Structure 1
């Protein structure tokens, strides 16, 4: 089963938010098809696990929390045997657990805010991915995902960074994860953006747009997986 790894060498890049948004959307799509999604939290901060332990977690999401370098490979194998998609939220350092998880990935997603500092950290993460390629002896697909972008405008910095990644032959998601209050709210209330109308009426204006963003993100993830498998 496909293993999707979220990796960033720094905190605050939107890694866990992106992982949870994708987990919720894949779970929504698989709900009526008896498709399970595995969520592995290998970040010591355990923010993904904290979300999963709140009320509202989709029933077809299986949480594997408190995963460390000692058990991450075994946990990924176990998760693959139980779910159609395995999503791994890694810690923000180039640790043994990170390298090990990357070695099993079908796609590594590198979240990056539209800033020069985040772009430099994304490059560090890509270097770790390439090192994992050498260690594992296999090609590992990866792509940079812009996160926390403004819904109103695309900044000059974002355009310049996109051009820089393109010139460096670094794959970049066409879609971005927009900075929406609905994505932040699920960490407070639990569940997905589809559940927010019941718990926070004032978020109603952004729920539909956040849901559209999640669907576009999941669709592009699936496209990238298919393209990598075809290759």
Structure 2
């Protein structure tokens, strides 16, 4: 029953979008609870729209006083739990990371975002010291151009990898369909091609991203079983 936690100190990195896309993809074949711990509750608002997957449940009453209990309760109901955290509250981040089987750190390919991603990685390392266990994680590069790689973005990704920082191979592209999720309060599969362009390409990107995350979870479980 894996718990996947999304952490990013910087707004605009695509944290909530990344969490929702993953939850929506998992809900195609399994039940999933997404804990919307953002004070603005964007995912709860999205779920109030039509065609929300029957396999997807949104919980929005988590805070630093009950986060662990909320995660544990969700894990008893669904095999997957996804946590979208407020970006700045350190205590709630530590609590959620303490329960994580995988932490995803969304980051755009800019120097400013890379610096903020490094802050999130320090939180993960802090939790590892406190709990005396390794916390699997991966940096997810978001809002990239699917056809053009900028020199700055490429340089930062290489810098991350050279520093031994785990990176997802899949990037989440800048797609109108990902923005339209919240504009129309619809899953990707229910967006209207008359309103939104390149939905098929966005779905393919989302599927590749979800498949890589599931692969990371399986690899982590196999490593734990072999230890």
Map of 2:182 onto structure 1: 187
CA RMSD of aligned residues (A): 1.1
Map of 1:172 onto structure 2: 167
Map of 1:224 onto structure 2: 216
Map of 1:139 onto structure 2: 134
Say which SS state the counterpart of residue 153 (structure 2) adopts.
helix
* Alpha-carbon distance between aligned partners in 1 of 2:79 and 2:176, rounded to the nearest angstrom: 29
CA 1:169–1:36 in structure 2 vs 1: closer, same or farther (change >3 Å)?
same
Which range is displaced more, 162-171 or 129-138?
A: 129-138
Q: Which runs of 5+ in 1 are unaligned?
A: none
TM-score (norm 2): 0.95
Map of 1:26 onto structure 2: 26
Kept in 2, the 8 Å contact 1:44–1:66? The answer is no
* Superposition deviation, residue 84 in structure 1: 1.4
What's the CA shift string for 1:28-69, capped at 9, x where partnerless? 1x1xxxx31100011112112221222221111111113100
* Superposition deviation, residue 137 in structure 1: 2.1
Map of 1:206 onto structure 2: 198
- More helix by percentage: 1
* Superposition deviation, residue 151 in structure 1: 2.0
What's the CA shift string for 1:176-205, capped at 9, x where partnerless? 0001000100101122111002xx5131x4
* Superposition deviation, residue 94 in structure 1: 4.5
* Alpha-carbon distance between aligned partners in 1 of 2:166 and 2:139, rounded to the nearest angstrom: 6
TM-score (norm 1): 0.94
- Kindly indicate whether residue 162 of structure 2 is the aligned counterpart of residue 162 of structure 1: no
Q: Which runs of 5+ in 2 are unaligned?
A: none
Map of 1:17 onto structure 2: 17
The number of residues matched between the two structures is 223
* Superposition deviation, residue 227 in structure 1: 1.1
What's the CA shift string for 1:142-188, capped at 9, x where partnerless? 10000000122011111101110111100111010001000100101
Map of 1:7 onto structure 2: 7
1:63 paired residue among 58, 75, 91: 58
